[in-house]
Structure 1
């Protein structure tokens, strides 16, 4: 292992440390990184000397900005998407593994934690946010749908907060991440280095109480009334209508934000979050998310969304269809169609 490896692994005392190490890309995940994390978890699960696993991100910007969507864009355009689907298959398996990991898995969710970064952190047993944390599932803005178990997590948030975050992709800070069940503890960012060192010497249950603090006030709790009312509607069109009619300036801004996103992604996301509430286990939800992701590879909005937001950065995606009314129930249903022998099958614990 060298300092240039995309995932740095080390053990010290009773802890195993995973450091995502692509700081220039805010530690965006690719397939080799997922494989390396999975291999480390296997080795440390079998190692009686390792009592705790700690995951963090290199650099100053955050734990992980998500999957490397530049790679996905290029691969879908030139290779048809098979490599992207293989990446998601192993990534979702890793997400399920993290959720069931038999040893304490401590995620230091400092800075930007989005998309796939949520997948490698928010399914862990001990999830720590800081005053710098910005946690989000921003997929609808690139013509995609929250995955990596994101619909499972957001489907379990209080009221309709998860629906709001899934559709808008809005980032939340520490207090709101705690409110929505995406994190467990707040620790000031300047205390993370010494917290990490102490985990090498003692169990997390002994260490964490010395560092945990009350998080600064958030924003979502003050918006619960209009969020819960507007997002309880049956369709995305009705949600937008309620937002525009609510009289709340923040609700109107939210409606305008939604209308700029992929109409197909919005409708599929609403269905996915509501299905996730009924499916029960994380594994079943991940299996359904895999179907959605596979379908997205043949949908023009994913490539177009990444082009507009990341490649050309013109911020002017040309969605197809371009309006919510043009996305039919049949269009949405095909995202959830069984994949036959390509299905992702995960065992439930």
Structure 2
């Protein structure tokens, strides 16, 4: 699921977050102000307050697609995910393949590696150091600048990625994005 969300940019609503275990409770929008007030007055009673204010969880749209997500987004190789979607003749697979076709191949490969490595990191500081390194390198690279141009500046929604295909994004290219910074540039916790 994490790989699906990271690659497609799909968003989960409240019911979906509850369904997949990201959220512990489901509250209707109308209950949020009361929840905040009651929690600020009784921070030691969060679980009980949320339990009292929880509403009936609507059907989660994602439920019908979890098996497909597990099947098609299981690999940590972007090319494998694309090939699996391409090989399937369902409308769902075609839609997701089309979505991935609009994304920067470099960014997709970075996201998959980030998820894989992040799962093995021992601390939040390690994860933040990795995030900072990636951001430091990516902010000056073509695809970031091109994405900003295409989506924010010119608004033509027609980015020209470089490298243009997943096969053209080498392991060395991605290694450079994850490369450590000099000692004075590395992220350090305060």
Q: TM-score, normalised by structure 2?
A: 0.89
Cα distance in 1 for partners of 2:37, 2:123 equals 34
In the other structure, the counterpart of 1:22 is none
Structure 2 regions of 5+ residues with no counterpart?
none
Pairwise CA distance, 1:180: 4.2
Equivalent position of 2:97 in the other structure: 255
Tell me what 2:12 maps to.
Answer: 172
Work out whether residues 15 and 60 of structure 2, in 8 Å CA contact, stay in contact via their aligned partners in 1. Answer: yes
Task: Give the aligned partner of residue 33 of structure 2.
Answer: 193
Contact 1:226 1:246 in 2 (8 A): no
Q: Name stretches of at least 5 consecutive residues in structure 1 with no aligned partner.
A: 1-160
Q: 2: distance between equivalents of 1:178 and 1:275?
A: 26
- Across the aligned residues of Structure 1 and Structure 2, the Cα RMSD in angstroms comes to 1.9
- Map 1:152-231 → 2, pairs under 5 A: 161-203=1-43, 204-231=46-73
The CA distance in 2 between the partners of 1:215 and 1:181, in whole Å, is 13
Of 140, 145, 149 in structure 2, the residue corresponding to residue 307 of structure 1 is 149
Does structure 2 retain, via aligned residues, the 8 Å contact 1:300–1:320?
A: yes
Is residue 2:188 matched to residue 1:345? yes
1:323 to 165, 176, 181: 165
Deviation at 1:210, TM superposition (A): 1.9
Provide the C-alpha distance between the structure 2 equivalents of 1:286 and 1:180, rounded to a whole number of angstroms: 25
Are 2:132 and 2:187, in contact at CA under 8 Å, matched by a contact in 1?
yes
Distance in 2 (CA, whole Å) between partners of 1:166 and 1:179 is 18
8 Å contact 1:162–1:180 — kept in the other structure? no
Q: Distance in 2 between matches of 1:205 and 1:184?
A: 9
| 1:90-105 matched pairs, under 5 angstroms | none
Q: Could you give the per-residue CA deviations for residues 277-302 of structure 1, whole angstroms, max 9, x where no partner exists?
A: 11143332221111111111121111
Change (3 A) 1:180 1:277: farther
Q: 2:86 — aligned with what?
A: 244
| 2:155 counterpart SS class | coil
Higher strand share: 1
State how far apart, in whole Å, the 2-side matches of 1:200 and 1:333 are: 45
| Count of equivalent residues | 187
Deviation string for 1:48-74 (max 9, x for gaps)?
A: xxxxxxxxxxxxxxxxxxxxxxxxxxx
Structure 1 residue 235 and structure 2 residue 106: aligned?
no
Higher helix share: 2
